[in-house]
Amino acid sequence: MAVAPQGLDAVTTMMCGSCSNENAYKTVFMWYRLKERGGKVDFSPEEMASCMVNQPPGSPNLSILSFKGSFHGRTFGALSTTRSKPIHKLDCPAFDWPVAPFPRYKYPLNQFQSENHAEDNKCLEQVADTIEKYKMKGCPVAGVIVEPIQSEGGDYEASPYFFQKLQKICQNSEAAL
């Protein structure tokens, strides 16, 4: 396909950013469960029946971690990861999904390197702790969403170090990033 990124043979288009996030969440959950099943897609009768009443094992207790201040959309699932303004979320039921702090740097960057590095480490430690906490409470983090450039939510940049360490945390916890 001519418009697909190099190395890929398909493109999935969505109506909006929120729809894209919703689709990504669903894809992450299916990927996570496929891993748990050892790559098999054989659904049990219990899974098929329980998903129709929104109960495990067919509707598993899984979560998506997002960051404080983030905006990921106004669709139903995306609201559970949106953390920017209360007005977006008021009166809407939400999933009990985790939130962690995203680095907030001091500027100019070259004058606050040690402070900003400490901020990265503080946030990364809280991400790892939050992922472990949700695993222990029976709602493992299947994926982490991070959108540094969010339009309505603002632009929050982080260092390459932060993103590399975040990727490592996700790999170690078997969560998609």
Give the model's confidence band at 148: pLDDT under 50 very low, under 70 low, under 90 confident, else very high. Answer: confident
Task: Spell out the domain ranges in the chain.
Answer: 18-173
Give the model's confidence band at 90: pLDDT under 50 very low, under 70 low, under 90 confident, else very high. Answer: very high
Across residues 54-75, what is the average pLDDT? 95
pLDDT score recorded for residue 153: 66
Distance CA 21, CA 144 (A): 11
Q: Which fold has domain 18-173?
A: Aspartate Aminotransferase; domain 2 (3.40.640)
pLDDT score recorded for residue 1: 63
pLDDT in tens, 91-142: 999 999 999 999 999 999 999 999 999 999 999 999 999 999 999 999 999 9
Distance CA 158, CA 100 (A): 14
Nearest to 25 by CA among 89, 73, 69: 73
